[in-house]
Amino acid sequence: MPTFLVTGATGFIGRRLVTELAQAGHRVRRALRHRDQALPGIEDVLVGAVDGGTDWTAALQGIEVVAHLAARVHVLRETARDPSAAFRETNVRGTERLARAAAAGGVGRFVFLSSAGVHGLSPHTSALAEAAPMAPHTAYAQSKWEAEQAFREVASRTGLSACVLRAPLVYGPGDPGNLMRLVSLVARGVPLPLASVRNRRSFLYVGNLSSAIVASALHPAADSRTYFVRDGKDVSTPELIELIAKGLSRPQARLFPVPPALLQAAATAFGQRAAMSALLGSLALDDSAIRAELGWRPRWSLEEGLRETVNWYKSGSPR
């Protein structure tokens, strides 16, 4: 079995991937920014910040597969003087630096976790293929698109075996993000003005993403490919909320109708345009390529993934 280097290993997705790799019998090395609690059978290497100056020499020794999850993600309370530059330093230059070091070190496969947000949100509900036009709508998404281009350039020039996974919103137990805020609102019975929304969104349970990363790391057909990954069922925001309510054992979600245009205007006025766009816009993905080429299938349905997530919330873990 190949030896994996996992960046972003202490994050929400990284923790799940490291656990599943170790359980499957793979040797795993975590690239850490700071010291973390040691895990049985897992090797740790301190690399510091992931940026254009990171020294990857020690981390890459003996590594056959890199799973690059480390990234500067959406920041709720931005403190950087130039957020776009901060995103680029980690997500673009950090990825390019690691890809060059991996190629020089003879790494056999490099899997880069990108975002379906590189395509932006859309008013249309039709599913996108990987070749759809690029329209990144946030500084984070723009940096991920630039990172993809830099990554592919390194792979093309060096012969590095590279695979890109574009993920929609990832959720699951331990999720620190937007979906858990929505779960909290539904759990508290807060009325939500979203009954009139007619969008379509793909979602991705963290366990499904972890298995897709492993499949992309090991399958020969994944070389030089870019794949969408999703749970297998797309839903509107009201349908998602109803599924959350069901998992919480509430009789139904408290939804009432407000025209989406009015919601967007009000959110813009209060500086919440991006958050509202995520609730109103569509981003449905066609994942037929990874299914056909790698034989990958999600282990958890959307309903099962949400049930696991809501059960974790009900256990009191997020509080």
Query: What tens digit of pLDDT does each residue of 210-246 get?
Result: 999 999 999 999 999 999 999 999 999 999 999 999 9
Tell me the per-residue pLDDT of 237-295, one tens digit each, with 9 for 90 and over.
Answer: 999 999 999 999 988 889 999 999 999 999 999 888 888 998 999 999 999 999 999 99
Residue 270 lies in a domain: no
Hey, which residues does 167 pair with through a beta bridge? Answer: 115
Residue 57 lies in a domain: yes
Q: What is the average pLDDT value for the chain, to the nearest integer? A: 94
CATH classification at residue 97: 3.40.50.720
Q: How far is it, in rounded angstroms, from Cα 13 to Cα 171?
A: 9
Say how many domains are in the chain: 1
Q: Which tens digit of pLDDT belongs to each residue from 72-111? A: 986 555 566 788 899 999 999 999 999 999 999 999 999 9
Q: At what angle do helices 260-269 and 273-280 cross, to 10 degrees?
A: 160
Which residues is 114 bridged to in the sheet?
166
| 312 falls within a domain | no
Residue 261, pLDDT score: 94
Q: Per the domain annotation, does 186 fall within a domain?
A: no
- What's the domain range around 146? 3-171+203-231+285-299
Helix 206-218, helix 302-314: angle, nearest 10 = 130
Residue 128 lies in a domain: yes
Q: Look at residue 269 and tell me if it is in a domain.
A: no
Give me the pLDDT at residue 317, please. 62
Assigned domain for 319 exists: no
pLDDT average, residue stretch 296-317: 94
Structural domain contains residue 241: no
